[in-house]
Every structure is written in structure tokens, then in C-alpha cells.
Amino acid sequence: MKVFLLLFSVICSTQAFVCLPNACATVRCAAVTAENCNGVIKQNGGYCGCCDSCENYLAEGDTCFSSILLGVPSTSHCGPGLHCDMHTFKCVANIQARALNPCAQELSTFTATQNGQPLLGAHKPLCDADGYYQPKQCQGSGCYCVTKEGKEIDGYSAHIWEAQHMTCQCARDQKEYMDSGLIGRLFYCTSDGSYQNYRCVGDVCHCTDSDGNVIAESQSVDIAHVDNLNCRQ
């Protein structure tokens, strides 16, 4: 009953809070990067959506009650391979995810090894929501592209200060397609493994999005004038 009353009071207080149109005018945002965030970076996830925020990963056994409060921006959630037990409000292991997904395993080992202190030379992997490796991984001064299992894809890399818009999605899609044995599809990847911002079919070129898909109703030009195509940067 006490837990219910606490939850209800928090929901009511958050519903009464309103962000004014100019709420972000005087807010100065601190940089949120993979190096200082032990979890997932949410774009515009902070106060009134003014700044990016970090949702820290909780370890097994940590209390996760605050991460399920309705209306309250979450600042933490159970890490890869874990979920919040609704009876104990503790992070518990998802045995199947831990057994199947390699990035979740490495991150769990990394977190346990650190014990609150960074281990010299240790690499913190970046995992997706399912516990597989994100396409882009960074270590030291460089970033590179990997498969879902964490194997580096040759030929695609960038200095960390040049990798802000690096996605590696094209490099991964191309690798998976080639490994499948299929033929006939062309991939237009940049040197850092991201999709090129345009694609040509026959003599006509169109702008594409970050997944390589043609943007509907976007400008198109003849291939001879592709330099005049005004696509996203």
C-alpha cells in the first residue's frame, strides 16, 4: 500500500509539471558521451528535452523501482541481459539473453571486473537492446565497424573525433548480405561504413536516409549531374 501511494504521489506531481516554450533558453547542456555514460545516451532525454541524457545500466541485484515510474524520466534501467522483476523491483538475469547474446556477456564481465574502478586497457562494449554489439564500436582514439557478434569488419574505420555521424550500418548490412551467399544487391558505403547519402538506379540518382532507403519525394537528378544533388550532410 505504501508503495502504491508513493507511486501515485509521484505521478500526480509530474503531471502538474509543465515545460514552458522557452524553458531551454537558459539551459547549458553538459556533453554526454559513450566515455562518461555507463549505459544508453538518449537524445533530448533531459530536463524538458533540452539536453541529451544518460540512462545508466543497473547491475544484477540493483533496485530498479525508479526506472518504471510513470511520467518520470528514467535515469537508469537494467543492463543488457537483465530485466526488472516486478515482484522484487530488482534487476535479475534473463538467462536466455545472457546465454545467446555476446555483447551482454562481455558487458556483464566488464562491469563485474571494474568494481567501481576502471581497469587499465579494458574495453567497454556498446550493446543494443537485445544484447548484441552495436554496429559502431570505439576504443582508444579510433572507431570501427563490427558484426552483431562483435567481429571487426575490415576496411571501415575512423578517428574518434571524426566519428560523430558514423553509423557503420552500411558496412554491417553489406557484410550480412555477402555472408548469406546472395548476389545482385549493390551497397553504397562511405569510408567509415555509413550509407552514402544518395543512391543511383540506372541513370537516376536519389537522396537516401541513414539506412540507405530512398527518401520519398526527394530531389532526383541524372547520374551525370549527381554533384548537384542536394542531400543531407
Model pLDDT for residues 3-17, shown as the tens digit of each residue: 444 444 544 444 444
Give the pLDDT of residue 99: 58
Give the pLDDT of residue 4: 43
Distance (Å, whole) CA 88 – CA 224? 64
Give the pLDDT of residue 212: 82
Report whether pLDDT(202) > 90: no
Q: Grade residue 188 by pLDDT with cuts at 50, 70 and 90.
A: confident
Adjacency order of strands within the sheet including 53-58: 39-42, 53-58, 76-78
H or E element at residue 154: strand 152-159
Selection from 55, 46, 131 nearest residue 96 by Cα: 131
Give the pLDDT of residue 52: 81
Instruction: Give residue-wise pLDDT tens across range 146-175.
Output: 999 999 999 999 999 999 989 999 999 999
Report whether pLDDT(191) > 80: yes
Q: Residue ranges of the alpha helices (H) in 59-205? A: 95-100, 102-114, 169-179
H or E element at residue 207: strand 204-207
Distance (Å, whole) CA 147 – CA 92? 27
Of residues 219 and 119, more confidently modeled: 219
User: Quick check: 63 and 84 in contact, CB under 8 A?
Assistant: no
Show the domain range for 80. 22-116
User: Quick check: 27 and 50 in contact, CB under 8 A?
Assistant: yes
| Mean pLDDT, range 113-124, rounded to an integer | 62
Asked if residue 216 is part of any domain, the answer here is no
Asked if residue 94 is part of any domain, the answer here is yes
Asked if residue 112 is part of any domain, the answer here is yes
Asked if residue 68 is part of any domain, the answer here is yes
Report whether pLDDT(192) > 90: yes
- Tally of domains in the chain: 1
The residue assigned the cell 537524445 is: 43
Asked if residue 229 is part of any domain, the answer here is no
Asked if residue 226 is part of any domain, the answer here is no
Give the pLDDT of residue 75: 75
Asked if residue 59 is part of any domain, the answer here is yes
Q: Grade residue 145 by pLDDT with cuts at 50, 70 and 90.
A: very high
The DSSP bridge pattern shows strands 76-78 and 53-58 to be parallel
Instruction: Give residue-wise pLDDT tens across range 57-98.
Output: 888 888 887 654 444 566 787 888 888 877 788 888 876 544
Residues 115, 118, 121, CA angle at the centre, nearest 5°? Answer: 130
Report whether pLDDT(30) > 50: yes
Distance (Å, whole) CA 172 – CA 153? 8
Asked if residue 63 is part of any domain, the answer here is yes
Q: Grade residue 112 by pLDDT with cuts at 50, 70 and 90.
A: low
User: Quick check: 231 and 196 in contact, CB under 8 A?
Assistant: no
- Write the DSSP assignment of 31-57 as a string of letters: P--TTT-SEEEETT-SGGG-S-EEEEE
